[in-house]
Amino acid sequence: MNVEDILSVIRRTPDLADNIEHWKTLPARAGQYAAYPDSWHPRLKEALEKRGIERLYSHQRQACDALAAGEDLIIVTPTASGKSLCYNAPVLNAVLEDDAARALYVFPTKALSRDQVAEFNAVVQALGGGVAAHTYDGDTPPSARRNLRARGHVVVTNPYMLHTGILPQHQRWLNLFQGLRYVVIDEAHIYKGVFGSHLANVIRRLRRVCRHYDSDPQFILCSATLGDPGALAKQIIGREARVIDEDGSPKGEKHFLLYNPPIIDKELGLRARPLEEVRRLAALLAPHEIQAIYFARSRNSVEVLTKYLKDTFLEKHLDPKKVCAYRGGYLPELRREIERGLRNGELTAVVSTNALELGVDIGSLDGCILAGYPGSLAATMQQAGRAGRRAGISAAILVARSTAMDQYIMRHPDYLFERPQERTVLDPDNPIIFANQLKCAAFELPFREGDTFGGNEETETVLRFFEQEAQILIKRDGQYYWMAEAYPAQEVSLNATDIDNFVIYDVETQKIIGEIDRFGAMTMIHEEAIYGHQGDQYYIEKMDWDGRRVHARKVNPDYYTEAQTETELKVIQVDERKAFEHYDAHLGEVNVKVLVPMYKKIKFYTGENIGAGEIHLPPEEKDTAAFWFTIQRELAERVGLYSGSRGKSLSGLRRLLQQVTPLFVRCDPGDISVEAQVKSPQYDLPVVYLYDNVPGGVGLSDAAFDCHRSIFLAILELVRDCACGYGCPACVGPAADLGSEGKGTVVTLLEGLLEGGLDAPAA
């Protein structure tokens, strides 16, 4: 059976077909082609022809012509549409015309960097050599680094190494910066929030260093899916870029299914567990060697689903070694092995977090199953784009969870297929991020009095603070010079996950099997945790917090663990306030303290809670931006928040805001957090807080503050339309948690908040 046959089985099987909320068929499409530019070097044309590329797709030709005209670009076409040729060919042509020409490629991960070097060098081999390209990352040996600095035409790196290894040592990269013609920034859609805000400042530093060496490179940004790409490009590179978004590559027919697990308790609105439904769908694909990728929402879910699929393969007398997990925390050698297994067909199923969402070369797959909405339109289309060939039929299936966000998507499929892609939110001038990056820039080159960094008018103010208060700069003859011994880039994390990782040590094999960031360590590898690795389970015997190492032993339990978190909040500053009829909306700064006090033991397959334990770790603390609203006493008393169990309904509203707000603010769910207090110590009123999940904030709370009444309305419609009686995971939460009056109380509360109309502040 092939994919088409499997889709027919789904259509004909009632207990599968009845779960399909929406079936979108994207028809096959012929390619649109164009000839090579006449200006290209003859050797380049010959090399491409040797590799079977006799003509270009229309978008590739548009990109090459725009670059020849001196423009900056952002190319937005789907996965596997040939974006890499849009920059590789012009770069090769430039080097063939001038051996001093240089290019810098910036990819978000080491894996993607290595993939691109391999693809680039394949063309170089067809050329007969003469062009040197190599990765520059933490794994690059010293001898290769020296050669790359001296003779490398193309330096392929990641934001972290550009930040800490290249820009602070620009004097050692003289040839690169003097000859720099092109800078490539791939997977542009991931540069949002804190990471994107830092990256935009790193590019400010890059352009500043280039000006010092009298070079002015063109920028080429790429992404498979993006809304308002021109605006994002301008935020990242600081100037206008031409948008090329008409895809000329051919596509095979593709089916995109929205699959809602069946309701198993109508009164409570409970649906079958999504991982079990994914396993059920995988059982259709596995016996027929249909190669598929499965995306899960968390590292824990990846390991649980991997175990389930391995069990399924065993039940069907198939080799469980054809199933692998792939996620952050695995060692590089294991990740490379899995990528090769997908490309050469040795693996039938790979379960991944969003780590394989990016453009790592894993070949063209027949199927993709998403265990839960990935949290953004960009991520959804990137993951679904992993399935699809230029000829033949492929399928992507989104299996919903019983969450408000996923159920909103099930009821509003046009959100995925009809509306424009979301905009990416970043704030390069966030005070904390800007100040930290300004330190790095001052270390690299002195600032003249009156200079601005990225056009920020606060530059001089911050420089004076660094001189007079922090005493890390000294001012002489109208210039600010770095005078501290510290190396600032080493102390500035781009996204809080690139430093301070824990390593996981197998006490039996005496080998390191993985690593994890500090916050992930608090919830996944605390003492007594069960840590999943490739479908196997390890018991964490000891955690050395200061040494950033845990000791794990392989075990075979019938459960996994989930950590519980608690949050303490305190308002520091109010920047803006709006009064409505029954509540006041605030925008400002809060202090957040997160503790992880305990964990639960969850039985495999049944989801039963079979025990708990305490966790003894220090809290994580940060100051960040927040939007919050205080509910006036009259409305709180009217809906009964102070009486009986109805106060619990506020946690139902909190839950809905956490899941629905990202659909309006255009961010990943993990970028924000929401907390509720029935009686706030500061206000003596019910308060709900929504805050940016990063120190200092990056504008998400501001966006929520501006559109919060539209969010309230969407939540009200979602709860009213839900078929459950008293509450369920798809709306306010299970009735067992909120009580039989929880759903009705949330509806009444939202109706009260919205009194006066959608945009009606109090007179």
Mean pLDDT of the 336-346 span? 83
C-alpha 53/C-alpha 119 separation (Å) is 14
C-alpha 757/C-alpha 465 separation (Å) is 47
Q: Considering only CA atoms, which of 259, 221, 269 is closest in space to residue 71?
A: 221
Give 330's strand partners.
Answer: 514
Indicate the pLDDT class of residue 390, thresholds 50, 70 and 90. low
C-alpha 92/C-alpha 48 separation (Å) is 11
Token code pair at residue 610: 């079979």
Mean pLDDT of the 85-94 span? 96
Answer yes or no: is pLDDT of 68 > 80: yes
Total residues belonging to the chain: 763
Per-residue exposure over 606-640, b if at least 16 CB sit within 10 Å of its own CB, e if not? eeeeeeeeebebeeeebbbbbbbbbbbeebbeebb
Q: Considering only CA atoms, which of 218, 198, 176, 185 is closest in space to residue 75?
A: 185
pLDDT of 499:
47
Structure pTM? 0.74
The CATH code for residues 3-25+251-417 is: 3.40.50.300
pLDDT of 294:
93
Mean pLDDT of the 4-22 span? 94
What is the SS3 assignment for 380-394? HHHHHCCECCCCCCE
Residue 311 identity: D
pLDDT digits (tens, 9 = 90+) for 667-681: 777 789 999 999 999
C-alpha 600/C-alpha 615 separation (Å) is 11
pLDDT digits (tens, 9 = 90+) for 237-246: 999 999 999 9
Answer yes or no: is pLDDT of 399 > 60: yes
Answer yes or no: is pLDDT of 110 > 80: no
Q: How many CB atoms lie within 10 A of CB 97?
A: 12
Q: Considering only CA atoms, which of 761, 758, 755, 759 is closest in space to residue 639?
A: 755
- Cβ proximity of 313 and 292 under 8 Å: no
Mean pLDDT of the 247-267 span? 89
Q: Residue 405: in which H helix or E strand, if any? A: helix 404-411
Backbone angles phi, psi at 339, to 5 degrees: -60, -45
SS3 596: strand
Answer yes or no: is pLDDT of 518 > 80: no
Give 600's strand partners.
Answer: 562, 612
Q: If you search the block for the tokens 């301070």, which residue do you land on?
A: 500
CATH architecture, domain 33-244:
3-Layer(aba) Sandwich (3.40)
Indicate the pLDDT class of residue 498, thresholds 50, 70 and 90. very low
Query: DSSP code of 685?
Result: S
Topology agreement, domain 3-25+251-417 and domain 33-244: yes
Q: How many CB atoms lie within 10 A of CB 130?
A: 12
Answer yes or no: is pLDDT of 497 > 50: no
pLDDT of 752:
94
C-alpha 522/C-alpha 520 separation (Å) is 5
Mean pLDDT of the 584-602 span? 94
- Cβ proximity of 308 and 84 under 8 Å: no
pLDDT of 598:
94
Write down the domain spans for the chain.
Answer: 3-25+251-417, 33-244, 431-484, 502-557, 566-753
Alpha carbons within 13 angstroms on the beta-carbon side of residue 290 total: 27
C-alpha 420/C-alpha 680 separation (Å) is 39
Q: Considering only CA atoms, which of 156, 21, 24 is closest in space to residue 730?
A: 21
Number of H helices, E strands in the chain: 26, 32
**At the topology level of CATH, where does 502-557 sit?**
Thrombin, subunit H (2.40.10)
Strands 349-352 and 292-296: parallel
Query: DSSP code of 330?
Result: B
pLDDT of 648:
83
Indicate the pLDDT class of residue 732, thresholds 50, 70 and 90. confident
Answer yes or no: is pLDDT of 763 > 60: no
The sign of the dihedral angle between the CA atoms of 237, 241, 245, 247 is negative
> Which residues have C-beta within 8 Å of that of residue 255, sequence separation ≥ 6?
7, 23, 24, 25, 26, 393, 394, 395, 396
Higher per-residue confidence, 176 vs 361: 176
SS3 597: strand
Answer yes or no: is pLDDT of 99 > 90: yes
Q: What is the maximum span of the chain, computed from C-alpha positions, in angstroms?
A: 81
pLDDT digits (tens, 9 = 90+) for 599-614: 999 998 888 899 999 9
The sign of the dihedral angle between the CA atoms of 747, 753, 757, 759 is negative
C-alpha 508/C-alpha 553 separation (Å) is 7
pLDDT of 391:
66
C-alpha 470/C-alpha 473 separation (Å) is 8
First to last CA, the chain: 67
Answer yes or no: is pLDDT of 233 > 50: yes
pLDDT digits (tens, 9 = 90+) for 201-225: 999 999 999 999 999 999 999 987 7
Angle of helix 742-753 relative to helix 649-665, nearest 10 degrees, comes to: 60
Strands 447-448 and 479-482: antiparallel
Higher per-residue confidence, 532 vs 103: 103
Lowest mean pLDDT among 36-50, 298-312, 621-635, 717-731: 717-731
- Cβ proximity of 103 and 153 under 8 Å: yes
pLDDT digits (tens, 9 = 90+) for 417-468: 875 555 666 788 877 789 999 999 999 999 999 999 999 999 999 999 999 9
Token code pair at residue 32: 């649109």
C-alpha 248/C-alpha 32 separation (Å) is 5
Question: How far, in whole angstroms, is CA 457 from its chain's centroid?
Answer: 31
Answer yes or no: is pLDDT of 184 > 90: yes
> Which residues have C-beta within 8 Å of that of residue 498, sequence separation ≥ 6?
160
SS3 34: strand
pLDDT of 536:
87
Token code pair at residue 676: 């509720």
pLDDT of 424:
67
Backbone angles phi, psi at 687, to 5 degrees: -135, 140
pLDDT of 181:
98
SS3 433: helix
What is the SS3 assignment for 698-729? CCHHHHHHHHHHHHHHHHHHHHHHCCCCCCCC
Mean pLDDT of all residues belonging to the chain: 88
